[in-house]
Every structure is written in structure tokens, then in C-alpha cells.
Amino acid sequence: MERYSSSSQKMRHRSFLKYFVSVCLLFLIYQSIKTNSALEKLEKLNEIVSEKQIQLALLATSIPPTKSNDPIVVYAITPTYARPVQKAELTRISQTLALVPNIHWIVVEDSEEKTTIVKNLLNDLTYQYTHLVAKTPSIEKLKAQDPRWKKHRGVEQRNVALRWLRTNLVLNKDKGVVFFMDDDNTYSVKLFKEIEKVKRVGVWPVGLVGGYSVEAPELDPKTGKVVGFLSGWRSDRRFAIDMAGFGINLDLILSKPDVEFSYSAQKGFQESEFLVKFTTKEELEPLADNCTKVYVWHTRTEKPQIKKFVDGFEV
């Protein structure tokens, strides 16, 4: 009895072992199939990922560098000349610029050499500036060429600033907008928010100019595009816009390296003849809430009557 039972026990034991081994084998086969298919899936995913990576790399190369997050720098060009109110005028606008992020002020003196008064003023600034000089050619030198020279101001200085931009900045790398900021105007900080938006050439109203309380581009109410100019003087100019009424993208300034202001421009046509070389009326970008807001004024400082220049003060 015992023997029988022990042999039948062995048999049961063996068949259990067989069964156990088979289950194990099946389990292993199942696992390996599963692993294989998972590996295949992984490989496929890997392929997709590398394909996408290539596509991304290609896309990245097709994006122009303009898409970088570099801030837009406003290059404000200010021609200036020695006179009793010079320091007061420059102080006023320099303090407006202190409230503008990413400003680069280019001050160009009508002088043979940099003057102490301007040097001292610029030394105190906490933002970027460039100090240049460009003496307006003497009367004699220009008389022969062009008798109208007297009526143009700041030509030499603005051109030297343009040359500085073209020498020191790089097309498609440096991002900015160029703005001509005369030292006798009053500027709202809000204007600079508008200037930053300029893609090619942006325009806006200017207060107290040309005999009108305001000069402004006129827009078509349907299209929102500039169709004309409200101006107290020669509104028939191609661009009846004051120097303070437009901003040009740096790309445009750099891509047309020969465009400058000219002594041969008709009196009062300096801005118009300059803009014509960059853009068309249709392309102008109306800013300052569709040219309805005034953020810059042609204020004129009264010429002081000075009886005596007191020694020992920098005024």
C-alpha cells in the first residue's frame, strides 16, 4: 500500500513538474514575444522621434533670426548745437529717455569737437548713448553748390548718426527702430511704446506744427490705411510729415545704406524726400491709436534775452 502510494505520489509529482515547467516555458515565450513587440514599438517610436527631430532642425534653420527674443532698441538721433538753452533742452529730453527701456541715444553735436557741457550731461546717464560730432560745412563751401543750405538744419548731424548705425550695427542681427528726436520738442513716454511697434515705417500725429494745432496722417476709415495728410503747410508733399512724426525700422536703414538727408532737398521737403526712398504712402503703419493720439509736440523754447553771461556756472 505504502509503496503504491509512494509511486503514485512520484508520478503526480512528476506530472506536476512537467506542468510547472510547461507553464514556465509558456510564460517565458509569452514574455519574450511581449518584450519583442514592445522593443519593436520602441524602435518605431524612436524612428518617429528622430524624424521629428530632423523636421524640427530644418524648421529652426528656416526661422529668420528676427524671431529672437532680443529687445527692440529705440535709436533716438538728436542733432544739437551750442546755445544758451542747449543744456536745458537736452536735460528735458534725456530725462524722458530715462523712462524708456532699451533706448540708445545718439547725440550729434554741430561742432568740431565734443563740448564739455554735452559730455558732462551724457556722463550722468544710466542708459546707452553715443556721442558724435559733425560740423555743418561753412557757408562758403556750400554757396556754390546750393544756395538753400541755410534752410536745412541737422543734415550733417543726422547723416553722421546714420553712418554710425550702418557701421556699428548688423542687418538681421541687431533689432531696432530709428527715430529722429530733435532737442527742442516735448516727447511723451507713450510715444516710445508706439515706436517699438514699427515694422517698416510707422507714423503718428505731431502737435503744434506747421501752423496747425496738430499735423496728422489721415486714414481711410474702412481700410485703416494712410490716404493723406492733415498739415498746415504743403499737405501735397508725398509725405507731409514732420521729423518727429515717423520711425523707421533699423533693418530698412541698414538695407539701404546710401539713403541720407540731402542739402539739395527742397526747403521743407527733407522728411518727404527721405521717406520716399524707403516706403510708399500705402505701406505706412499708422500708430498712436490709428493716429488719433498726440504724444509729441513741437514746443519751441523762447530764446532768452541774456544781458550777461556769468562766469563760473555751467548753465
Ligand X SMILES: *[C@@H]1O[C@H](CO)[C@@H](O)[C@H](O)[C@H]1NC(C)=O
Question: What number of residues does the chain have?
Answer: 315
300 assigned binding-site residue: yes
Is 298 within any annotated ligand binding site? yes
Active-site residue, 47 included: no
Asked whether residue 110 is marked as a ligand-binding residue, the answer is yes
Closest CA to 161 of 88, 96, 109: 109
Q: Which of residues 290-309 bind ligand X (CB under 6 A)?
A: 290
Nine-digit cell string for 280: 510708399
Tell me: is residue 220 an annotated ligand-binding position.
Answer: no
For residues 172 and 68, is the Cβ–Cβ distance under 8 A? no
- CB closer to ligand X, 71 vs 224: 224
Q: Smallest Cα–Cα separation from 212: which of 195, 235, 243, 237?
A: 235
Does residue 227 belong to the site contacting ligand X (CB under 6 A)? no
Pick out residues in 68-127 that bind ligand X (CB under 6 A): none
Dist CA 108 CA 114 (whole Å): 9
Binders of ligand X in range 19-78 (CB under 6 A): none
Q: Known binder of ligand: residue 200?
A: no
**Residue 224 binds ligand X (CB under 6 A):** yes
Residue 70 is assigned to a ligand binding site: no
Which is the catalytic residue, given 194, 196, 271, 285? Answer: 271
Site size toward ligand X (CB under 6 A) is: 3
The whole-angstrom separation of Cα 159 and Cα 260 is 6
Cell triple for 197: 511697434
For ligand X, which is the closer residue by CB, 210 or 245? 245
Q: Residue 190: which H helix or E strand, with range?
A: helix 189-195
Residue 242 annotated as part of some ligand binding site: no
In terms of DSSP H, where are the helices of 124-233?
139-143, 155-168, 189-195
Cα separation, 179 vs 243, in Å, equals 9
The answer to whether the CB of 215 falls within 8 A of the CB of 245 is yes
Distance of CA 173 to the CA centre of its chain: 11
> Contacts by 5-10 with C-beta closer than 8 Å and gap 24+?
none
Q: Which of residues 189-218 bind ligand X (CB under 6 A)?
A: none
Q: What's the closest the beta carbon of residue 314 comes to ligand X, in angstroms?
A: 45
In the complex with ligand X, the residue whose CB is nearer, 90 or 198, is 198
Closest-by-Cβ residue to ligand X is 224
The span from the CA of 172 to the CA of 189, in Å, is: 27
289 near ligand X (CB under 6 A): yes
Rounded to a whole number of angstroms, the minimum distance from the CB of residue 293 to ligand X is 9
Angle at 162 between CA 289 and CA 281, to 5 degrees: 40
Give min distance, CB of 185 to ligand X, in A: 24
Question: Which is closer to ligand X, CB of 283 or CB of 289?
Answer: 289
- Nearer to ligand X among residue 228 and residue 304 (C-beta): 228
Task: Determine the Cα–Cα distance for residues 83 and 87; give it in Å rounded to an integer.
Answer: 8
- 234: which DSSP letter? -
Closest CB 224 distance from ligand X, rounded Å: 3
Q: How far is the CB of 50 from ligand X (least distance, A)?
A: 45
Q: How far is the CB of 180 from ligand X (least distance, A)?
A: 25
Interface residues toward ligand X, by CB under 6 A: 224, 289-290
Mind telling me the catalytic residues?
A: 271
Binding-site members for Mn(2+) are: 184
> Which residues are known binding-site members for UDP-alpha-D-glucuronate?
79-81, 110, 153, 158, 182-184, 298-300
